[in-house]
Amino acid sequence: MLELFPQGFEETERDGGVALVAYTDAQGEERLWHVFGGAQSVDVADGWEDRWRTFHRPVQVGRLWVGPPWEHPDPALVPVVVDPGRAFGTGAHPTTRLCLELLQRLEPGSLLDVGCGSGVLSVAAARLGYAPVTGVDVEQASVDATRANAAANGVDVTALLIAPDGTLPAAATAVANISLEAVQALDGRIDVDCLITSGYLADNAVAPAGFVHVERTVSEGWAADLLRRA
C-alpha cells in the first residue's frame, strides 16, 4: 500500500481484521486489483479532502500534550503541536508514545533524533529541556516537516538530511523510532551514552553493539528499549 499510495492511506478495524482504504481514481483502483486480486470501491462523500484530520487526535503522555494545530492544548500540560504533513509521526502511534515516556525519565542533555519524521520527538525533547537537539532523516520531506514544526513550537531544533549510511552526530542521548532493520544498522554508527529505540514489535529483540539493556516498555504489541553505553 505504501508503494501504491505513498501520499497516505487509512487503516481501520473491520470485522475482526484490518481494512486498508485509499482515496484514488479508476487507475488507482485498477492498480489495487492488479496487486491484491480484488478491491471494493465506493464513491466518497463531500469533504473527503479534510476527513484525514479526524484521525489525528491529541494524546497525553506524562506531562506532555501532543496534538495537531487544529486542536487546543491542555493548559496544564506541556504542549507539542505537530502538523504531520507528508512525514510520519503525530504522537498517536504506540512507539511514539513509548519513546516520549522514556525521554521524560532521563536527565535532559544533548539529543539526536534518528529518523526524525515529523519532528514530534525532537520538538518534545526540546520542550522537555534537552539541548541542543538535532534531528536527522533520509527524506527531505521529514527534514522540512521537522523544521516547520520546531518553528511553530518556538523551539530550537537542527534538522539535517543524511544518506542512509551517513555519519550520525554525537550526543548524550539518541532516540531512534525507526524500523527493526534500521535500528540494527546503527551498530558502530551511533556515538551516545544513552539510546532509546523503538519502531518494532514486542517479540523482536535489539542488542546494538557496545550497549547494555536497561529497560523495555510495551504498548499494544509494540516495544521500546532503553540502553546505555557499556
Give tens-digit pLDDT for 158-197: 999 999 988 999 999 999 999 999 999 999 899 999 999 9
Residue 58 · residue 90 · CB < 8 Å: no
Q: Is the pTM of this model over 0.85?
A: no
- Domain 59-229 homologous superfamily, CATH: Vaccinia Virus protein VP39 (3.40.50.150)
Give tens-digit pLDDT for 127-166: 999 999 999 999 999 999 999 999 999 999 999 999 998 8
Domain chopping of the chain, boundaries: 10-52, 59-229
CB environment 186-225: b (16+ within 10 A), e (fewer): beeebebebbbbbbbeeeeebebeebeeeeebeeeebbbb
